[in-house]
Structure 1
Amino acid sequence: MLKNISLSPNLTIGLALSNIGYADNQFDTALPVATQMTLSNVGEQDKGAPSGFGIQPSGTVNRIKATPQYGFAANYNPSHDRTNTSSYIQVADAGQATERADSATLPKVTVEADPYDPTNTDHPYNKSYNVSNSSTSNKIDTPIMETPASIQVIPKSVLHDQQAFRLEDVIKNVSGVQTQHSFGGDYETFVMRGFLQSTANHRNGIRIPATKIDLVNVEQVEVLKGTSAMLYGFGDPGGFINAVTKQPSPTPYYSIEQRFGSYDHFRTEANATGLLSKEYGLNYRMDLSYLDTNSFRNTYKNRIFFAPTLSWDVTPNTKLTLSYEHFDENNSYDNGTPSFGNKLASIPRSRTFMDPSLTNTNTNDLIDFKIDHRFNNNIKLNADTVWSHNKKQWETAYLRTVAQKLNPEKPTLEIGDVDRYYWFGPEKLDSITAWINGTFDFETYGVKHKVLLGGEYYNNDFGYQVASGHIDTVNIFRDDPARLTTAKLQEIGAKARTTAPSTETTSKAIYLQGQMTFFTETTTRKINQ
């Protein structure tokens, strides 16, 4: 619709006409009475105006006639003359105007699609932060928006961008979860919703006790908040952390990464995946990491981890996956800064009372064999068996309670004195988990059902032998204590293992779960303007 447009000399305007119809093969329309064009600069035709324009005294436009060449002519009655004498404003056709316009050539624009499907988070080249589905809360791949639980997923893109290699690096992204420094840093434990977690974490939904998780082969980390005993058996009331590992892909992908940091931090990561045999449906994956780092607290850590995986697509509906993981770490024990009164002692944070010559070793081997079979689109079967063997060798010096006042019965005791003890000995933990799940999809009276029926067997055999006793007395307000002498270390190492507890835990479970969908149709309206 045309409204009150002012036209000045040397000014080119474009007019948008609505409700244009055809009449005698020409565009012809009558503008509403309210539509007006006001022309300024009353007088003779402006010789400086662009060719094709004639400017006459201002008046009211009554009718506009457009030709097939998209030029137009407007007739009007001059405002100072109320007679029916007609004058015209002629505008050059679009073709002529285009020829006179300054030409401009735009640079070439190439539009390409992403090399991967953004919704396929398993693709090795996918860098999306978005994860739409998870199976941690109910053991069924379900959209997170439809999951009746509080769950948060940290995808591999976040892990890579943050250069995370420990679970405690990832948990910083999750609300309500804090890191707990347990057993001098030899276990990864957390506080979730105010509850201290046990030393067990989950790998692909399976409980793996007393072990650390290296993130080089982790696809994403899923944090489930709240109880989950119905599907996972005994566990922690605050929830649990589940590391989902990377799987072999037929899409070739190779990477190697070297990181450097403060306190002689060196970390190397290497990943490779691809197709072994297209004919037989064999895919492989290899993940490797090496870590060597010191600390501002005069402690150190070195670690090597590698995890080969082989998958075999036996048929289009059957897949077998075999995984192996080896974890080997040496580190010095450090139980942190001691407390004094109701707060941490006022000493330099770099001061440690552990002996750096003592080394804890932690070795873990894991074998995982999984079967996935689809009978049809409505019935699926999954079965998995995971065996884990963990062994540790403890060489630890630790502190007891710090003296906060003088004791007349101990005249040599000073404020800040504390006894230092040793803990030497081997530890082992073997666990095996076997589970089988059947998923059934069907519909009754317009209600869609997804039923999970499964069972699980879990066995854990834990034991250790230890020699412990008093080493010496140190003062936390003085300089770091001297290292233990070789003779003292040999004396401690020769002591008999006075404590040898062992425990075995076995659980068997059958579980049944049902999901129902009552509304499956969504109406979407598109409004075209």
Structure 2
Amino acid sequence: MSNAAQGRRPVTPGSTALITGSGALLGLALFCPVSVQAQTVPPEGAEAVLSELSVTGTGERAGGPVVGYRATRSATATRTDTALRDTPQSIQVVPREVMIDQQNVRLTDALTNVSNVQPGGTIQGRSDTYILRGFRTQTYAIDGLVLNPANAFQPTQRDLANVERIEVLKGPASVLYGQGDPGGLINIVTRQPTLTPSADLTVQGGSFGFRRVQGSVSGAIPSVEGLAARFSFGTQNEATFRDFGGPENSRHFFAPAFVWTPDASTRVYLNAEFTRQHSQYDEGLIAFGGRVPLDNISRFYGEPWSRYYGESNSITLLAEHDVNENLTLRQAINGQWGSFNLLATRATGVNAAGTTVTRRLTEGDSIYHSIDSRTEALGRFVDPFGFRHTALAGFEIVDGFRHPFTTQGTATSVSFLNPIRGSVPQIGTLTLQSDLR
């Protein structure tokens, strides 16, 4: 066994030291200066103080705001907060940021971003009706609760002032809601209040006298711990290019919303919506001989006193409670009511010569209301093989009602190419329809 090396010599930067010893040769080369600093040792028993470290990030939850244009989570298909990549159904989401950038003011405008969805037909286009995968649907859901199924159409157009996102569930998977159409379901997710103060305001103007103002303000209510509120509104007027000779079209919308979190395991939501819509009754141009004369697109076959008025109202109360980390209970109650009234001269045909349009007087009224109660239990568990599962069970009771009736009478004919207004409304025959549920 070799003896240890021995020797001692001062070493300076850049020098070479050679240490010799019995049976060993050790070479040491230093080419760079070396700086050595003693470390301060804290006194025994003293606590070490670390600098503050803050980590921030932005996450997404189903029903919440979307960062950018691409949503990653949804609750429409499963009624649970599930990643879209883990959802076996076909879902498309239109986030609020897309609607803002496109300056959408109608539900139809926003749905142009969704494939296999086309606008349907309603008399004078006063309601939102769509064709989903070839099937007609005249209703949609708000926060997962489907509107009154007894209605043939909604009496007002949907306003987007309080919409956070629009989710379209395509295909027969929509039977999860029990009262949808086989083509799919349109679910409108509303904006929720925030404890952090925020506000926004948008002013729009366009052709033919269009003008619109919409806004929202949200924040905490200091007098109640954990209570936040949001108030959204939208109002618009438009004269349009049509030669009505009467009042402008208008729509007014107001939506208060509240959320109360008394503790970490309980959440209570209260949302309400109120819409009023006034418009001239207009069925558009008339075709004759397989073509529509487009020499004058403002041509109007009605009367200045023709009108349409619709209103829709909705209030929803939702309570959620986490019994423990594996079980959540939900109870939702929704009430809807509204009506519409119209008075108009409607074209019934064109004579053989194509010179005169025959008309009739129509007055229609309809009232509706419905109540929806839904109870759910959401369970989470892990099976013996280590797979995590989420199970949902519940029941829903819906009672919808609609009562329509109409009266009809005669009206004077007008020229096909040069209609002159001046017909006087006359009371006609009353036609009642049975109450619909």
Shared fold (TM-score, shorter chain, > 0.5): yes
Of residues 437-446 and 216-225 in structure 1, the stretch that sits farther from structure 2 once superposed is 437-446
TM-score calculated relative to the size of structure 1 = 0.67
Q: Check whether the contact 2:64–2:191 (CA below 8 A) recurs between aligned residues.
A: no
Match of 2:374 in 1: 435
**Bigger radius of gyration:** 1
Provide the rounded CA distance (Å) in 2 between the counterparts of 1:342 and 1:496.
32
Q: Once the two structures are superposed, what CA deviation does each residue of 1:76-127 show, in whole Å capped at 9, x if it has no partner?
A: xxxxxxxxxxxxxxxxxxxxxxxxxxxxxxxxxxxxx998615368777x65
Provide the rounded CA distance (Å) in 2 between the counterparts of 1:123 and 1:192.
25
Tell me if 1:201 matches 2:152: no
With over 3 angstroms needed to count, the CA separation of the structure-2 counterparts of 1:156 and 1:25, relative to structure 1, is farther
Provide the rounded CA distance (Å) in 1 between the counterparts of 2:55 and 2:177.
38
Provide the rounded CA distance (Å) in 2 between the counterparts of 1:131 and 1:278.
35
Of residues 177-186 and 268-277 in structure 1, the stretch that sits farther from structure 2 once superposed is 177-186
3-state SS in 1 of match to 2:379: strand
Of residues 350-359 and 320-329 in structure 1, the stretch that sits farther from structure 2 once superposed is 350-359
Provide the rounded CA distance (Å) in 1 between the counterparts of 2:180 and 2:243.
36
Identity %: 28
Q: Check whether the contact 1:357–1:483 (CA below 8 A) recurs between aligned residues.
A: no
Q: Check whether the contact 2:63–2:189 (CA below 8 A) recurs between aligned residues.
A: no
With over 3 angstroms needed to count, the CA separation of the structure-2 counterparts of 1:25 and 1:440, relative to structure 1, is farther
Structure 2: 5+ residue stretches without partners = 1-26, 34-53, 149-153
Of 397, 421, 430, the residue aligned with 1:483 is 421
Match of 1:95 in 2: none
Match of 2:270 in 1: 322
Q: Once the two structures are superposed, what CA deviation does each residue of 1:13-36 show, in whole Å capped at 9, x if it has no partner?
A: xxxxxxxxxx9456xxxxxxxxxx
Look up the equivalent residue of 2:430 and give its one-letter code.
T
Provide the rounded CA distance (Å) in 2 between the counterparts of 1:348 and 1:402.
18
Q: Check whether the contact 1:201–1:208 (CA below 8 A) recurs between aligned residues.
A: yes
Match of 2:20 in 1: none
Q: Once the two structures are superposed, what CA deviation does each residue of 1:16-61 show, in whole Å capped at 9, x if it has no partner?
A: xxxxxxx9456xxxxxxxxxxxxxxxxxxxxxxxxxxxxxxxxxxx
CA displacement at 1:370 relative to structure 2: 0.8
Equivalent residues in 2 for 1:304-315, closer than 5 Å: 304-315=252-263
3-state SS in 1 of match to 2:175: helix
3-state SS in 1 of match to 2:350: coil
Of 107, 131, 154, the residue aligned with 2:94 is 154
With over 3 angstroms needed to count, the CA separation of the structure-2 counterparts of 1:343 and 1:176, relative to structure 1, is farther
With over 3 angstroms needed to count, the CA separation of the structure-2 counterparts of 1:342 and 1:496, relative to structure 1, is closer
With over 3 angstroms needed to count, the CA separation of the structure-2 counterparts of 1:423 and 1:445, relative to structure 1, is same
Q: Check whether the contact 2:378–2:392 (CA below 8 A) recurs between aligned residues.
A: yes
Provide the rounded CA distance (Å) in 1 between the counterparts of 2:69 and 2:350.
47
Provide the rounded CA distance (Å) in 2 between the counterparts of 1:420 and 1:247.
48
Tell me if 1:394 matches 2:394: no
Of 362, 366, 371, the residue aligned with 2:319 is 371
With over 3 angstroms needed to count, the CA separation of the structure-2 counterparts of 1:449 and 1:121, relative to structure 1, is closer
Of 181, 194, 202, the residue aligned with 1:236 is 181
Provide the rounded CA distance (Å) in 1 between the counterparts of 2:326 and 2:198.
33
With over 3 angstroms needed to count, the CA separation of the structure-2 counterparts of 1:177 and 1:230, relative to structure 1, is closer
CA displacement at 1:434 relative to structure 2: 0.9
Q: Supply the RMSD in Å over aligned alpha carbons.
A: 2.4
Tell me if 1:282 matches 2:230: no
Match of 2:45 in 1: none
Tell me if 1:298 matches 2:263: no
Q: Check whether the contact 2:276–2:310 (CA below 8 A) recurs between aligned residues.
A: yes
With over 3 angstroms needed to count, the CA separation of the structure-2 counterparts of 1:437 and 1:281, relative to structure 1, is same
Tell me if 1:421 matches 2:366: no
Equivalent residues in 2 for 1:14-29, closer than 5 Å: 24-25=28-29
Structure 1: 5+ residue stretches without partners = 1-22, 27-66, 70-112, 407-413, 506-529
Q: Check whether the contact 2:63–2:75 (CA below 8 A) recurs between aligned residues.
A: no
Equivalent residues in 2 for 1:83-482, closer than 5 Å: 117=58, 119=60, 128-198=68-138, 200-209=139-148, 210-211=154-155, 212-228=157-173, 230-277=175-222, 280-298=225-243, 300-403=248-351, 406=352, 414-446=353-385, 447-476=387-416, 478-479=417-418, 481-482=419-420
CA displacement at 1:137 relative to structure 2: 1.4
Match of 1:510 in 2: none
Tell me if 1:503 matches 2:428: no
CA displacement at 1:475 relative to structure 2: 3.7
3-state SS in 2 of match to 1:138: coil
Provide the rounded CA distance (Å) in 2 between the counterparts of 1:337 and 1:330.
21
With over 3 angstroms needed to count, the CA separation of the structure-2 counterparts of 1:456 and 1:119, relative to structure 1, is closer
CA displacement at 1:346 relative to structure 2: 4.7
Provide the rounded CA distance (Å) in 2 between the counterparts of 1:416 and 1:118.
64
CA displacement at 1:298 relative to structure 2: 3.1
Look up the equivalent residue of 1:500 and give its one-letter code.
L
Q: Check whether the contact 1:459–1:504 (CA below 8 A) recurs between aligned residues.
A: no
RCO comparison, higher one (Cα < 8 Å, 6+) = 2
Look up the equivalent residue of 1:501 and give its one-letter code.
Q
Q: Once the two structures are superposed, what CA deviation does each residue of 1:175-212 show, in whole Å capped at 9, x if it has no partner?
A: 111112412122110111122222x2211111114243
